[in-house]
Amino acid sequence: MAIWTIIGRIVLISLASLVGLVAVMAGILLILSPGNPKPFTDANGSHLAGSISEKVYVPINGIEQGMFIKGKDATNPVLLYVHGGMPDYFLTERYPTGLEEYFTVCWWEQRGSGLSARAGSRAKPVTAEQLVSDTIEVTNYLRNRFGEDKIYLMGHSGGTFVGIQAASRAPELYSAYLGVAQMADQLKSERLAYDYLLAGFRRNGDTQMVSKLEAAPVTMEGGTPKAYLAIRDVAMHRLGVGTTHAMRSVTRGIFLQSLQFSEYTLREKINLWRAKAASGASVLWGTMISTSMVHQVPELDLPVYFFEGVYDYTCSYTEAKAYFDKLKAPLKGFYTFNNSAHSPMLEEPAKMQKILREDVLTGTNHLADPT
């Protein structure tokens, strides 16, 4: 009986320690989650006059949707950022983009995701048509609020699938369309990624990952098997072709960064991840891989700029370039980022800012890659 008493005490102590650890972690998360947008400050630590830093909720097509609006000068041109399904504004804390130096930036969190993952927001399945319509409605909200005839539209990753269609439908609302990691033919992109990943893990001697990939081949006929999609993000990040070229772990690079982000409340952080599989690219995947943007949007009646990282296999660099070459527009600029994967604005912000300042805001393409 003595030994069972000892074991029982050990179990109770272990459970108490676990409960205590969970309580401590929850307390830390609460401390890290006040949920207030950080203001811009001057050299003396005072509020920067004329700046804007807000977290707002706006009725968009019948659903209240959340967004951060940030800028050091609220009279600057307005930029609407369309994320790729997973809101990624929180990453700018570790990877400052500098966008707020030149624009009043709206980091919109789309229907069913992040700040917009609220009761009733997923009552109906999210469609590409709905997100395009929402994009245009958010655009009109920003135009009216800031008194602008036109704003700039930036899509990233899956957000380019939505953003470029909004620009095609209502070009009169936008000064330019900016595609970062532009989707083109996503099924071809996935096939190229699969071949790259398989070759890379074979070269590295990672037999476990090779076996998983070989068991779930991506083909133009069969598409992207669920088993492939289950390991896709992890595999891409391990080989440096995911979110950034230097980011090797989704857990350390994205999940933990989101937990430390003070402008979300704890509930908003939970919603961010709870909604990940039910919003954006996750629910539009079938549509995305069955759509060729060459046919869907063959031309745009406004200036177009593509920003592409050479290490990007999430949305293929080569497919984006092939699409750009065929896309008709009054002004085009394609910009290669040689040290970037999927997020040039996070990875090479100085170069991005120079292009925005000297080309995009002046309506030229002098810094673009030679044609």
List pLDDT tens digits, range 304-316. 999 999 999 999 9
How far apart CA 124 and CA 120 sit, in angstroms, is 8
- Beta strand residue intervals within the chain, DSSP E: 52-60, 63-71, 78-82, 104-108, 151-156, 174-180, 304-309, 332-337
Residue 121, pLDDT score: 47
Q: Is the pLDDT of residue 63 over 50?
A: yes
Residue 11: half-sphere exposure toward Cβ, Cα within 13 Å: 6
Residue 18, pLDDT score: 56
User: Which has the higher per-residue pLDDT, 27 or 263?
Assistant: 263
Band (pLDDT 50/70/90 cuts) for residue 32 is low
* pLDDT, average across residues 202-210: 97
Lowest mean pLDDT among 12-21, 164-173, 343-352: 12-21
Under DSSP, the state recorded for 115 is: G
User: Which has the higher per-residue pLDDT, 120 or 142?
Assistant: 142
Q: Is the pLDDT of residue 191 over 70?
A: yes
How far apart CA 66 and CA 274 sit, in angstroms, is 16
Q: Is the pLDDT of residue 85 over 90?
A: no
Lowest mean pLDDT among 34-38, 135-139, 227-231, 295-299: 34-38
Q: Is the pLDDT of residue 185 over 90?
A: yes
How far apart CA 303 and CA 24 sit, in angstroms, is 52
Under DSSP, the state recorded for 252 is: I
Residue 76, pLDDT score: 98
Residue 338, pLDDT score: 98
Residue 16, pLDDT score: 58
Averaged pLDDT score across all residues of the chain: 92
Q: Is the pLDDT of residue 223 over 90?
A: yes
Q: Which residues are registered as beta bridge partners of 305?
A: 178, 333
Residue 1, pLDDT score: 53
* pLDDT, average across residues 140-164: 98
